[in-house]
Chains A and B, each alone.
Chain A
Amino acid sequence: MKHIKTLTTRDVKESMKKGGCGECQTSCQSACKTSCTVGNQSCEKAR
């Protein structure tokens, strides 16, 4: 495309099919302890 560049992203819709296993880290256990940030976490299966 000439006008639009798209970054590679995980298809969020697709993850409805395979996701939800719950093995991933609990959001607040990482570093923060005062806010909920999930965008920077990794999927346990994608590791």
Chain B
Amino acid sequence: MIHQYVSNGYNIVLDVNSGCVHVVDEITYRVIPLVEEALAQNTEGIGNLAAYAAGRLSESSEEPVEALALQEVIGEILELKEAGMLYTEDIYEQYIDEFKNRGTVVKALCLHIAHDCNLACQYCFAQEGEYHGRKALMSFEVGRKALDFLVASSGSRVNLEVDFFGGEPLLNWQVVKDLVAYGRSLEEPHHKKFRFTLTTNGVLLNDEILEFANKEMANIVLSIDGRKKIHDLMRPHRGGQGSYDEVVPKYKKVAESRNQMNYYVRGTFTRNNLDFAEDVRHLADEGFEQISVEPVVAADTEAYALREEDIPAILAEYDKLALEYIRRKKEGKGFNFFHFMIDLEGGPCVAKRLSGCGSGTEYLAVTPWGDFYPCHQFVGQEEFLMGNVDEGIIRTDIRDTFKRCNVYAKEKCRDCFAKFYCSGGCAANAYHFSGSIDGAYDLGCELQKKRVECAIMIKAALADEEKEKTL
């Protein structure tokens, strides 16, 4: 299976199942799908393939291709095929099945430290922190049991992840600190390593918190939407006044004190700012180097929800952003954009790539009162209540449903070129938009595919630049 597209003047051919990325000239771009067709009809040998391709090319109104060049191109194509770098078969389905059937261990928890918030962001899926429920803070006792559960359920995994999430976790900061200390005390005796992360809206950030976080948190996610007017529109206080001015200076401090690493300024774009590349640019201009700005996920009854008719504008905006991204990198003023980052050389193994996000199996969310849900986005939906910190996982049936969920369980993902980068998408989005965790969230897919295309094009462009430098 191949996927080909033209972006920023590059003819890109992705050999989906090997992950190889080829940048090709125009003739090759036209010939590659024809050879695939011919091979599917069992045509063999360079001469026969060339004859087939020539026949098909003559049907098109585009410029004819010289016979000699055609032979040469097909020669190169076959060389890549021999090397397992083109037209590679999908041989992973059974492997992923076996992989998913292994014993389940839990390796990550999202602790809902506070179901309460000091902001009233319009698009919050937690509904001002309360997740369709009541306001509540997690007690140390509940958190301690959650960490004990994690250690006990993690088998031989060494690295364990715990995200302090909310609502707004800084509303319950003492418990966060106590849980970090407790977690650290478990590391040596159990031979584990905790990786703590914090997601905050910044309002309560201060020097004491920052100092602690810089010592203990592997990552900090700082919510900010971009330009002041956009941010203040969507992220106001409960009284309506914006939060931009108070959080930006604090975020700058975080970024600097962490040497511009291991943090993200993380925004959400909505129908109100389909020109979100401007917001990313704004954040970069403010000196942030780790940026993530992502599409809102909202019911289509909301005025700010993204609609199908917005897709062309959003895709064009990603293209625009990609060009800006390359330009700034080349000027030495680069930033990272979470969804354009792709690790072609050292990316994850195929098991990770195709087995889904892990919600409901290796990843669970814990409410302030200690209930388990498949992930933060399912919290509050009673049909997904899986168990609690005292009794562990009670609804093993829910776990098993999530366990089966992977790229091959989803009709749409099976044939999608983005599957190795997307892993079959977000189960929560799939559920909310299609009614089943094995369904798809079509709008999300369109954007995801575009981001993958941009990310790969950026690699091609930057590789080009490297070459120019060495010439």
Q: Which residues of A contact B (CB under 8 A)?
A: 1-13, 15-16, 18-44, 46-47
Q: Please, which residue of chain A has its CB at the minimum distance from the CB of B27?
A: A3
Q: What secondary structure prevails in chain B residues at the interface with A?
A: mixed
Can you give 19 A-B contacts (C-beta < 8 A)?
A1-B76, A3-B27, A6-B85, A9-B18, A9-B21, A10-B345, A12-B350, A13-B84, A16-B350, A18-B349, A20-B99, A23-B158, A24-B348, A27-B423, A36-B423, A36-B425, A38-B422, A41-B343, A42-B343
Q: Please, which residue of chain B has its CB at the minimum distance from the CB of A36?
A: B357
Contacts of B345 in A (CB 8 A): 8-10
- Per-residue CB proximity of B435-471 to A under 8 Å, as 1/0? 0000000001000100010010001100100000000
Residues B421 and A37 in contact, CB atoms below 8 Å apart: yes
Residues B363 and A40 in contact, CB atoms below 8 Å apart: no
Q: Which of A4, A26, A39 contacts B452 (CB 8 A)?
A: A39
Contacts of A37 in B (CB 8 A): 338-339, 421-423, 448
Residues A40 and B341 in contact, CB atoms below 8 Å apart: yes
Q: Which of A16, A23, A32, A38 contacts B294 (CB 8 A)?
A: A32
A26 and B35 CA atoms in complex are apart in Å by 39
Q: Is B91 on the interface with A (CB-CB < 8 A)?
A: yes
Q: How many of chain B's residues touch chain A, expressed as a range?
A: 35 or more
Contacts of A20 in B (CB 8 A): 99, 349, 351-352
Q: Is B403 on the interface with A (CB-CB < 8 A)?
A: no
CB-based A-B contact count at 8 angstroms: 210
Q: Which of B346, B351, B422 contacts A46 (CB 8 A)?
A: B346
Residues A36 and B85 in contact, CB atoms below 8 Å apart: no
Q: For window 125-176 of chain B, which residues contact chain A by CB distance below 8 Å?
A: 125, 157-159, 161, 163, 165
Residues A16 and B347 in contact, CB atoms below 8 Å apart: no
Q: Is B80 on the interface with A (CB-CB < 8 A)?
A: yes
A44 and B158 CA atoms in complex are apart in Å by 11
Residues A39 and B23 in contact, CB atoms below 8 Å apart: no
Residues B28 and A3 in contact, CB atoms below 8 Å apart: yes
A43 and B351 CA atoms in complex are apart in Å by 11
Q: Which residues of B contact A (CB under 8 A)?
A: 17-25, 27-28, 72-73, 76-77, 79-80, 84-85, 88, 91-92, 95, 99, 105, 107-108, 110, 125, 157-159, 161, 163, 165, 195, 197, 199, 219, 221, 264, 266, 292, 294-295, 297, 338-339, 341-353, 356-359, 362-363, 375-377, 420-427, 429, 444, 448, 452, 455, 459-460, 463
Contacts of A43 in B (CB 8 A): 346-349, 352
CB distance from B26 to the nearest CB of A (A): 9
Residues B343 and A19 in contact, CB atoms below 8 Å apart: no
A15 and B221 CA atoms in complex are apart in Å by 30
Residues B429 and A34 in contact, CB atoms below 8 Å apart: yes
A16 and B125 CA atoms in complex are apart in Å by 37
Q: Please, which residue of chain B has its CB at the minimum distance from the CB of A33?
A: B376
Residues A41 and B347 in contact, CB atoms below 8 Å apart: yes
CB distance from A2 to the nearest CB of B (A): 7
Contacts A33-B376, A39-B452 given; does A26 touch B344 at CB 8 Å: no
Contacts A23-B159, A39-B422, A41-B352 given; does A7 touch B357 at CB 8 Å: no
Contacts of B376 in A (CB 8 A): 28, 33
Residues A36 and B157 in contact, CB atoms below 8 Å apart: no
Contacts of A33 in B (CB 8 A): 165, 199, 376-377
CB distance from A16 to the nearest CB of B (A): 6
Q: Which of A2, A6, A25 contacts B72 (CB 8 A)?
A: A2
Residues B110 and A29 in contact, CB atoms below 8 Å apart: yes
Q: Which of A6, A25, A29, A39 contacts B347 (CB 8 A)?
A: A39
Residues A7 and B377 in contact, CB atoms below 8 Å apart: no
| Max chain B Cβ within 10 angstroms of own Cβ: one of A7, A15, A23, A31 | A31
